[in-house]
């Protein structure tokens, strides 16, 4: 089984969207895939996959059984909270203990890939994930502007200490105007590729800002299933990832 962490030094750049859609795209390719949401304070995976109303996970033979959507197995702290709006108020040691339990007590069955969605930055959760899961690869998500790139460089340097293979995806890379068809570079463009060259990590490609992507997250349906250009670009990114991992 290959373990992929999806991370970034920056919040809101699309990590959870990318993680959910990588996992879903791998499932569509016939792989057996698990998706672990390790964002304990802001778990987004249930919403993105339409599992937000799920409460509790089944226990079979003393182990937690992941939720399932189209064959993709999913675990998120959100399923275990008393209510949809309950916050998690834990310091580092509690978070570590919880993640350790997840790694010991979830029965994923046979998997080809475990994709792990991480919270932003390089704090408690991700330190624990690197310790407990010993990932094979890190997929780092950035947006093109230097306000993001500077933090993302820190995440790359963090990942270099723990994984052999590091990949970079530039998300929100330009917007095709739905009215005139011209491209608007809202956050600039090309910063991700340049950062990858500078830091010696593999650049997997760019995903544009696309209202369809935002809408699919709102609707709980992975955009990679849609017949749109950004889904095609994203599937090419996943093909490259599979080849390289
Ligand atoms: N390429 C895109 N085009 C349009 N909307 C996008 C794109 N990528 C992500 N989004 C939207 O941006 C928002 C943030 O995405 P997401 O939650 O995946 O980011 P994140 O990096 O996981 O955030 P956090 O740091 O809070 O975990 C969501 O509403 C998502 O639908
Ligand atoms: Mg997220």
Q: How far is the CA of 35 from the centre of ligand 2 (A)?
A: 13
Q: How far is the CA of 13 from the centre of ligand 1 (A)?
A: 5
Q: Please tell me the number of Cα atoms within 13 Å of 220 on its side-chain side.
A: 10
Tell the residue nearest (CA) to atom 16 of ligand 1.
Answer: 14
Residue 34 has pLDDT above 90, yes or no: yes
pTM of the model: 0.98
pLDDT at site 135:
98
For 73-110, give one letter per residue: b (16+ CB within 10 A) or e. Answer: bbbbbbbbbeeeeeebeeeeeebbebbeebbeebebee
Number of helices followed by number of strands (H, E) in the chain: 8, 12
Residues with Cβ within 8 Å of 167's Cβ and at least 6 positions away in sequence, in order, are 137, 138, 139, 140, 201, 202, 203, 204, 241, 244
Nearest ligand 1 atom to alpha carbon 210: 3
pLDDT at position 203 over 90 = yes
Q: Which atom of ligand 1 is nearest the CA belonging to 218?
A: 31
The whole-number pLDDT of residue 17 equals 98
HSE-up (13 A, CA, CB side) for residue 12: 2
What pLDDT band is residue 191 in, cutting at 50, 70 and 90? very high
- Is residue 163's pLDDT more than 90? yes
What is the model's pLDDT at position 176? 84
Q: How far apart are CA 165 and CA 159, in angstroms?
A: 9
User: What is the pLDDT at residue 14?
Assistant: 98
C-alpha distances (whole Å) from 132 to each of 79, 88, 217 are: 21, 21, 29
User: Domains (ranges, CATH) in the chain?
Assistant: 2-244 (3.40.50.300)
Tell me the β-bridge partners of 2: 113
* Pocket of ligand 1 contains residue 120 by CB under 6 Å: yes
What ranges make up the beta strands (E) of 23-161?
33-37, 59-60, 63-64, 67-69, 72-76, 113-117, 137-142
Question: Residue 17: CB within 6 Å of ligand 1?
Answer: yes
């Amino acid at each position: 089984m290959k373990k992929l962490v999806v991370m970034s030094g920056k919040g809101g750049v699309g990590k959870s969207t990318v993680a959910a859609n990588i996992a879903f795209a791998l499932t569509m390719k016939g792989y057996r895939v698990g998706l672990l949401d390790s964002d304990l304070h802001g778990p987004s995976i249930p919403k993105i996959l339409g599992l937000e109303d799920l409460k509790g996970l089944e226990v079979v033979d003393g182990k937690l059984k992941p939720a399932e959507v189209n064959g993709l197995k999913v675990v998120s702290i959100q399923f275990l909270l008393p209510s949809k709006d309950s916050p998690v108020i834990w310091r580092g040691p509690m978070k570590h203990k919880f993640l350790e339990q997840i790694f010991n007590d979830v029965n994923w069955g046979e998997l080809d890939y475990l994709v792990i969605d991480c919270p932003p930055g390089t704090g408690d959760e991700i330190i624990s994930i690197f310790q407990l899961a010993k990932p094979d690869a890190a997929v780092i998500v950035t947006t093109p502007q230097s306000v993001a790139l500077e933090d993302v460089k820190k995440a790359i340097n963090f990942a270099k200490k723990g994984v052999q293979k590091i990949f970079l995806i530039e998300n929100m890379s330009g917007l095709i105007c739905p009215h005139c068809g011209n491209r608007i570079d809202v956050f600039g463009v090309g910063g991700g590729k340049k950062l990858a060259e500078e830091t010696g990590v593999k650049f997997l490609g760019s995903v544009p800002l696309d209202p369809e992507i935002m809408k699919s997250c709102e609707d709980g349906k992975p955009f990679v299933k849609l017949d749109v250009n950004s889904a095609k670009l994203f599937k090419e990114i996943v093909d490259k990832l599979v080849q390289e991992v």
